[in-house]
Chain A
């Protein structure tokens, strides 16, 4: 079930929120777990059993990690990580590795490997990371393990974050899992945040995504450079508004049920370098990588060479986490290269140019990396890169509106205006001035009106179209 669907917005959400608010405190977690299981089963009915089994294994192992002597504690931790990584590896990477093995085998005349394609359970990357962070934190004694299986299940299965994050660590919401209150303010602010997220998703991401999809589906004969640039502009906007919209909705929904989730985005397209970008983009994922991969590898507390190696491992892993394809590996390499260059010398030079130029340069390079992120395979990415700079081979020029529309182009412009407006000199100061001049009641009423309007417009947009896939579900 996606948040931007009628069944969620007008049936599931009001019913679950209503039930949650009226049941006694003791039953609130039960309501949320039931709703979350229903939510997951709606989209992946065949994997509910697997999800519950994996949760049960980690729950038991976390108790063992906590109670065992250190040596055995490490064994249970390793076992938990192996189970989680293997389940993720099987569902996410088995097709890729078998395909590659089959391809390599074909070079030596081996017959193709008979293999039934493995279906990827929705959200497996996210709930696996949740579980790994949980068992590692238990092992590190950050917090004692959760003793109540219902509470543990709620931590993993809570529907706002189950399938696309943000990746919340157990200790960040432990208190809220046990005891929380939902005040009028929480519902008010949660609903406003949800409406903003829904607007980002439905009114921007889905719209510009339509252009991106059409352009990335073009064959070489029709992909002129202007369309190719429009395609990556649209896709770069889509991926941000789609994912940050989803995060806003998740944070807003959680807030309505009394949870405070960490932020996942902080104006990433205003980043002035790749290092800065990764502090602003998918922050919960970046934090996970830092805490559970980069630091355990040695982080910065080792030789310079080792630091770079660690960085490369992290970005290689990041790439593969997004998908089992060489394009994602290259995407990770791309970011790894620029992070390394920044540490070596680029950061010093970047600081010498105006801030806006730093931002545009970073955005430009991030945008180019999106080609790798979006392309079907390496040959598609190569073709796309070629067509960004060359018209060669373009024989069938398509009318602009056969791949996009006026509204879609306007929304691409709106998307970048929303991302980049703070770069306009004086814009931030003007915003502050307007805020300080206007009475709080007016500001509040304006915010509420905007949110209500966004909700209405989003519902209207959803009424007229069935095109609403979430990009991040595939991860």
Chain B
């Protein structure tokens, strides 16, 4: 620093001060005359308006805290600097964000994955495992009751990237003692087999089909199965429906596909929330299925209901785009719903829902993620079963009205 304190080299000093001064003064200047518009990184909320000042809020520090968040998010620097930081972290250290605390992680070969899937990968015991026995019994009962009404209920076990390709997960995320414990899905699978539940393990199907395709079933930038994998999954579900003997979809093949140089929207969802500066390096040529029908179009397509997670989005699109189900709805986590072809969701009220419409479906597909297999149906199974029991009880009671009347008269 001895050279720094000399009075010469004015040019260097002034240049430094000008650059740093402009940088530090930018947010104030941007507030006064916006150059960069406020923009939040994907997955982050926008800055809230400055909170009104009050003595109480000031003394309690809530005003200051709100203003600090506001100052950061509205500075005009938040979005670009987050992208810069995440680019450095992801390039240099294979992680998104400083503490790798977000929901997205970088695996080998630039494959992004979700932290939510690590617990099952490490064979952690799910919190709600004690409800498993009851839940499986409920599924079996619902399946039987629906079958009696002409509806096929199929449970579809859907994959995730870490489960299908554990070799892409860096060793630091893996628990070395995990093999001493069963995978949560093994417990679910055992319980479902014991009860004789009709289910489709698409993970098994994909594993056995992998050698037929020169690409993985997950894109590096997406959290969900790709178009080909979801097609194979739907195909396996269709096989199961046929096996059950009820309605099924028109037979199709997933073998024809085109490879596009970049992934489309849904195959880039993780990359979007990773907020990196140069996302192109996560892009990989991605296959999209060109459907081949193996049967003529039936007179009437089966009415279908899908219940579960975002892994069903692809199935829903296939049903709609390929005209496999004339009418179908998707109950997302049994909290929101949308019809086939719709982009946005509507709120779903469990209290006021139209159960007649639910039970009029010829096919109901409930998916369960292999990463959290105990949460099958997200409440749908229990609610539907309760409704069916009530209806069946009422029907039973309705079949014996005289006896009831006699009982009423007795006192």
Instruction: Enumerate chain B residues within 8 angstroms of A108, measured Cβ to Cβ.
Output: none
Given A189-B5, A406-B94, also A456-B172 (CB < 8 A): no
A11 B100 Cβ-Cβ under 8 A = no
A14 B99 Cβ-Cβ under 8 A = no
Instruction: Enumerate chain A residues within 8 angstroms of B208, measured Cβ to Cβ.
Output: none
* Interface residues of B, dominant DSSP: helix
B170 A401 Cβ-Cβ under 8 A = yes
A444 B59 Cβ-Cβ under 8 A = no
Closest B residue, CB atoms, query A443: B3
A343 at the B interface (CB under 8 A)? no
A464 B172 Cβ-Cβ under 8 A = no
A440 at the B interface (CB under 8 A)? yes
A5 B68 Cβ-Cβ under 8 A = yes
A7 at the B interface (CB under 8 A)? yes
Instruction: Enumerate chain A residues within 8 angstroms of B99, measured Cβ to Cβ.
Output: 207, 210, 405, 407-408, 465, 467
Residues 371-384 of B, flagged 1 when their CB comes within 8 A of A and 0 if not, give 00000000000000
A440 B9 Cβ-Cβ under 8 A = yes
Interface stretch, picked from B81-89, B244-252, B286-294, B314-322, is B81-89
Taking a contact as CB atoms closer than 8 A, the residue among B59, B72, B173 that contacts A399 in the complex is B173
CB-defined A-B contacts under 8 Å, sample of 14 = A13-B24, A14-B25, A43-B61, A184-B14, A184-B17, A397-B177, A399-B175, A444-B3, A448-B15, A448-B16, A455-B23, A460-B84, A463-B72, A463-B81
Q: CA of A210 to CA of B72 in the docked complex: distance in angstroms?
A: 21
Q: CA of A405 to CA of B94 in the docked complex: distance in angstroms?
A: 9
Shortest CB-to-CB span from B100 to chain A, Å, is 4
- How many inter-chain residue pairs (CB < 8 Å) link A and B? 170
Instruction: Enumerate chain A residues within 8 angstroms of B97, measured Cβ to Cβ.
Output: 464-465
B86 A11 Cβ-Cβ under 8 A = no
Interface residues of A in 430-475 (CB under 8 A from B): 440-441, 443-445, 447-448, 451-452, 455-457, 459-465, 467
Given A42-B64, A399-B172, A452-B16, also A11-B72 (CB < 8 A): no
Interface residues of A in 34-73 (CB under 8 A from B): 42-43, 45-46
Instruction: Enumerate chain A residues within 8 angstroms of B176, measured Cβ to Cβ.
Output: 397, 399
Q: CA of A326 to CA of B293 in the docked complex: distance in angstroms?
A: 76
Interface residues of A in 167-223 (CB under 8 A from B): 184-185, 187-189, 191-192, 195, 206-207, 210
A83 at the B interface (CB under 8 A)? no
Taking a contact as CB atoms closer than 8 A, the residue among A6, A195, A465 that contacts B71 in the complex is A6
A445 B12 Cβ-Cβ under 8 A = yes
Q: CA of A185 to CA of B7 in the docked complex: distance in angstroms?
A: 7
The residue among B15, B174, B175 with the most chain A CB atoms within 10 A of its own CB is B175
A185 B71 Cβ-Cβ under 8 A = no
B4 A189 Cβ-Cβ under 8 A = yes
A114 at the B interface (CB under 8 A)? no
Q: CA of A133 to CA of B101 in the docked complex: distance in angstroms?
A: 44
Beyond the given A6-B77, A399-B176, A444-B12, please list 16 additional residue pairs across the A-B interface where CB-CB is below 8 A.
A45-B61, A188-B17, A191-B20, A397-B176, A399-B172, A400-B172, A402-B173, A406-B93, A406-B170, A440-B3, A440-B9, A459-B23, A459-B77, A462-B81, A464-B97, A465-B101
**B-side interface size class:** 35 or more
Instruction: Enumerate chain B residues within 8 angstroms of A9, measured Cβ to Cβ.
Output: 24
The residue among B3, B64, B171 with the most chain A CB atoms within 10 A of its own CB is B3
B187 at the A interface (CB under 8 A)? no
A7 B71 Cβ-Cβ under 8 A = yes
A410 at the B interface (CB under 8 A)? yes
Closest A residue, CB atoms, query B29: A14
* Interface residues of A, dominant DSSP: helix
B313 at the A interface (CB under 8 A)? no
Instruction: Enumerate chain B residues within 8 angstroms of A401, measured Cβ to Cβ.
Output: 100, 170, 172-173
Binding site for A on B (CB under 8 A): 1, 3-7, 9-10, 12-17, 19-21, 23-28, 58-59, 61, 64, 67-68, 71-72, 75, 77-78, 81-82, 84-86, 88-89, 92-95, 97-101, 118, 122, 170-177
A451 B93 Cβ-Cβ under 8 A = no
A463 B170 Cβ-Cβ under 8 A = no
Closest B residue, CB atoms, query A465: B98
The 7 residue pairs across chains A and B that have the minimum distance between CB atoms: A405-B100, A463-B81, A440-B3, A401-B172, A407-B93, A6-B72, A448-B16
B85 A451 Cβ-Cβ under 8 A = no
Binding site for B on A (CB under 8 A): 1, 5-7, 9-11, 13-15, 42-43, 45-46, 184-185, 187-189, 191-192, 195, 206-207, 210, 397-402, 405-408, 410, 440-441, 443-445, 447-448, 451-452, 455-457, 459-465, 467
Instruction: Enumerate chain A residues within 8 angstroms of B86, measured Cβ to Cβ.
Output: 464
Taking a contact as CB atoms closer than 8 A, the residue among A185, A406, A440, A462 that contacts B100 in the complex is A406
B71 A11 Cβ-Cβ under 8 A = yes
Shortest CB-to-CB span from B7 to chain A, Å, is 7
B122 A189 Cβ-Cβ under 8 A = no
Closest A residue, CB atoms, query B177: A397
Instruction: Enumerate chain B residues within 8 angstroms of A185, measured Cβ to Cβ.
Output: 4-5, 7, 13
Closest A residue, CB atoms, query B25: A14
Taking a contact as CB atoms closer than 8 A, the residue among B1, B24, B175 that contacts A398 in the complex is B175
The residue among A10, A444, A447 with the most chain B CB atoms within 10 A of its own CB is A10
B3 A405 Cβ-Cβ under 8 A = no
Shortest CB-to-CB span from A439 to chain B, Å, is 9
Closest A residue, CB atoms, query B100: A405
A464 B85 Cβ-Cβ under 8 A = yes
A15 B17 Cβ-Cβ under 8 A = no
A463 B5 Cβ-Cβ under 8 A = no
Instruction: Enumerate chain A residues within 8 angstroms of B68, measured Cβ to Cβ.
Output: 5-7
Given A45-B58, A410-B93, also A460-B88 (CB < 8 A): yes
A7 B81 Cβ-Cβ under 8 A = no
B173 A407 Cβ-Cβ under 8 A = no
Given A398-B175, A401-B100, also A184-B13 (CB < 8 A): yes
Given A399-B172, A461-B85, also A10-B61 (CB < 8 A): no
Q: CA of A46 to CA of B59 in the docked complex: distance in angstroms?
A: 6
Closest B residue, CB atoms, query A185: B5
Shortest CB-to-CB span from A296 to chain B, Å, is 36
Instruction: Enumerate chain B residues within 8 angstroms of A189, measured Cβ to Cβ.
Output: 1, 4-5
Shortest CB-to-CB span from B223 to chain A, Å, is 19
Instruction: Enumerate chain A residues within 8 angstroms of B75, measured Cβ to Cβ.
Output: 6, 10
A405 B177 Cβ-Cβ under 8 A = no
Instruction: Enumerate chain B residues within 8 angstroms of A465, measured Cβ to Cβ.
Output: 97-99, 101
Instruction: Enumerate chain B residues within 8 angstroms of A444, measured Cβ to Cβ.
Output: 3-4, 9, 12-13
Instruction: Enumerate chain B residues within 8 angstroms of A407, measured Cβ to Cβ.
Output: 89, 92-93, 95, 98-100
Closest A residue, CB atoms, query B89: A407
Taking a contact as CB atoms closer than 8 A, the residue among B4, B19, B95, B122 that contacts A192 in the complex is B4
The residue among B19, B92, B100 with the most chain A CB atoms within 10 A of its own CB is B100
Instruction: Enumerate chain A residues within 8 angstroms of B92, measured Cβ to Cβ.
Output: 407
Shortest CB-to-CB span from B276 to chain A, Å, is 11
A207 B98 Cβ-Cβ under 8 A = yes
Instruction: Enumerate chain A residues within 8 angstroms of B24, measured Cβ to Cβ.
Output: 9-10, 13-14
Closest A residue, CB atoms, query B21: A14
Shortest CB-to-CB span from B227 to chain A, Å, is 31
Instruction: Enumerate chain A residues within 8 angstroms of B77, measured Cβ to Cβ.
Output: 6, 10, 459, 463
Q: CA of A461 to CA of B25 in the docked complex: distance in angstroms?
A: 18
Shortest CB-to-CB span from B323 to chain A, Å, is 45
Instruction: Enumerate chain B residues within 8 angstroms of A402, measured Cβ to Cβ.
Output: 118, 173
The residue among A13, A195, A397 with the most chain B CB atoms within 10 A of its own CB is A397
A448 B93 Cβ-Cβ under 8 A = no
Instruction: Enumerate chain B residues within 8 angstroms of A207, measured Cβ to Cβ.
Output: 98-99
Q: CA of A397 to CA of B123 in the docked complex: distance in angstroms?
A: 12
B95 A405 Cβ-Cβ under 8 A = yes
Q: CA of A393 to CA of B374 in the docked complex: distance in angstroms?
A: 30
Shortest CB-to-CB span from A64 to chain B, Å, is 34
Shortest CB-to-CB span from A437 to chain B, Å, is 13
B9 A399 Cβ-Cβ under 8 A = no
